[in-house]
């Protein structure tokens, strides 16, 4: 079983501006492999994909070193400067590092960019082209605001592999989902986009959600992307703001555990396909 989306961070090696504010205070400590391994064992998870948090390559280098030392890290989704003219060279340098063979994707925190059309910039498109030339996957971290630009990017690269993080963050707490639902379905219409069922508990009311609250959203993703393009991700430790590791595994299980054939794809094979895991 593969957790397709988790994070580590060491606050001594870099800052994460998105952690500002009182609500994020529980996250402002170090999280590493020794914290996660017991939780994975309890939840029956065998391997993970470690995903970038910051826009700097030092973090990606650290993650690749972790992957070298920890067999459970099956892949790393890192960061490069997509707007630089040497994106392919950046990727090559990362791959040459110890653990570099575990680099499986690139991500940029697009939903934090002031420009909703950031993904439409020619320099970004050139960088994403380099990502695909290197044989990597591109993770889309977007909300409804950025989905139209994401759709244009997906159309531009029909043979590239995209993974939509956190189902484009449905506004579960507000329940105002018309725009989000439309955007999700439009992205799903492109067969080169996979979708992570992840990050849901932090989009709900943190202290009052019930497991069944997420069923309609997961079902919508399954109907839109089909059983061969959805995958489980914990979003640990961000999820701890609203629930534990086993909580999010159990929520995903409401969708994936009932049907063994779906479970095999959802918890295992789809992540292998999307990221070309070894």
pLDDT of amino acid 260: 84
Q: Rounded to an integer, what distance in angstroms lies between the CA atom of residue 197 and that of residue 102? A: 22
Of residues 242, 89, 249, 226, the one with CA closest to residue 173: 242
pLDDT for 49 beyond 90: yes
Q: Give the mean model confidence (pLDDT) for residues 30-37.
A: 97
**pLDDT tens-digit readout, 135-167:** 999 999 999 999 999 999 999 999 999 999 999
**pLDDT tens-digit readout, 187-240:** 999 999 999 999 999 999 999 999 999 999 999 999 999 999 999 999 999 999
Contact yes or no for 122/156 (Cβ under 8 A): no
Q: Rounded to an integer, what distance in angstroms lies between the CA atom of residue 7 and that of residue 77? A: 10
Reported as a pLDDT band with limits 50, 70 and 90, residue 274 is: very high
Reported as a pLDDT band with limits 50, 70 and 90, residue 250 is: very high
Other C-beta atoms closer than 10 Å to the C-beta of 67 total 24
pLDDT for 17 beyond 90: no
Q: What is the mean pLDDT of the chain?
A: 96
pLDDT of amino acid 257: 83
Residue % of the chain over a pLDDT of 70? 100
Which residue has tokens 């972790």?
66
The DSSP code sequence of 212-267 is: GGGHHHHHHHHHHH-TTSEEE---BTGGGGT--HHHHHHHHHHHHTS-HHHHHIII
Chain centroid to CA 212: how far? 23
The DSSP code sequence of 163-231 is: EEGGGG---TTT---HHHHHHHHHHHTSTTEEEEE---GGGS-TTT--GGGGHHHHHHHHHHH-TTSEE
**pLDDT tens-digit readout, 59-97:** 999 999 999 999 999 999 999 999 999 999 999 999 999
Chain centroid to CA 69: how far? 22
Reported as a pLDDT band with limits 50, 70 and 90, residue 259 is: confident
Q: Among 32-46, 54-68, 257-271, which is the least confidently predicted range? A: 257-271
Other C-beta atoms closer than 10 Å to the C-beta of 131 total 23
pLDDT for 14 beyond 90: no
Q: Please, where are the H alpha helices in 103-177?
A: 122-133, 147-156
Reported as a pLDDT band with limits 50, 70 and 90, residue 276 is: very high
pLDDT of amino acid 256: 82
pLDDT of amino acid 16: 87
pLDDT for 258 beyond 80: no
- Domains of the chain: residue spans and CATH: 2-275 (3.20.20.140)
pLDDT of amino acid 217: 97
Our separate counts of H helices and E strands in the chain read 10, 8
pLDDT of amino acid 97: 98
């Amino acid at each position: 079983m593969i957790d397709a989306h988790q994070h580590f961070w060491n606050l001594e090696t870099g800052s994460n501006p998105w952690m500002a504010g009182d609500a994020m205070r529980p996250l402002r400590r170090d999280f590493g492999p020794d914290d996660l391994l017991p939780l994975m064992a309890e939840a029956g998870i065998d391997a993970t994909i470690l995903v970038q948090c910051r826009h700097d390559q030092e973090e990606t280098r650290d993650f690749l070193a972790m992957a070298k030392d920890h067999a459970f890290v099956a892949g790393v989704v890192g960061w490069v400067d997509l707007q630089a003219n040497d994106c392919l060279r950046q990727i090559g340098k990362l791959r040459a590092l110890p653990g570099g063979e575990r680099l499986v994707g690139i991500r940029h925190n697009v939903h934090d960019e002031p420009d909703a059309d950031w993904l439409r910039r020619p320099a970004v498109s050139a960088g994403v082209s380099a990502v695909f030339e290197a044989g990597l996957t591109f993770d889309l971290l977007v909300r409804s605001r950025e989905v139209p630009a994401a759709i244009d990017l997906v159309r531009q690269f029909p043979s590239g592999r995209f993974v939509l993080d956190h189902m484009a963050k449905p506004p579960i707490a507000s329940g105002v989902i018309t725009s989000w639902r439309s955007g999700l379905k439009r992205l799903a219409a492109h067969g080169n986009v996979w979708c992570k069922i992840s990050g849901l508990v932090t989009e709900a009311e943190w202290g009052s959600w019930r497991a069944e609250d997420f069923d309609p959203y997961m079902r919508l993703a399954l109907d839109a992307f089909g059983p061969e393009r959805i995958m489980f991700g914990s979003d640990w430790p961000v999820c701890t703001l609203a629930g534990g590791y086993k909580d999010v595994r159990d929520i995903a299980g409401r969708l994936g555990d009932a049907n063994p054939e779906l479970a095999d794809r959802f918890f295992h094979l789809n992540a292998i396909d999307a990221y070309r895991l070894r």
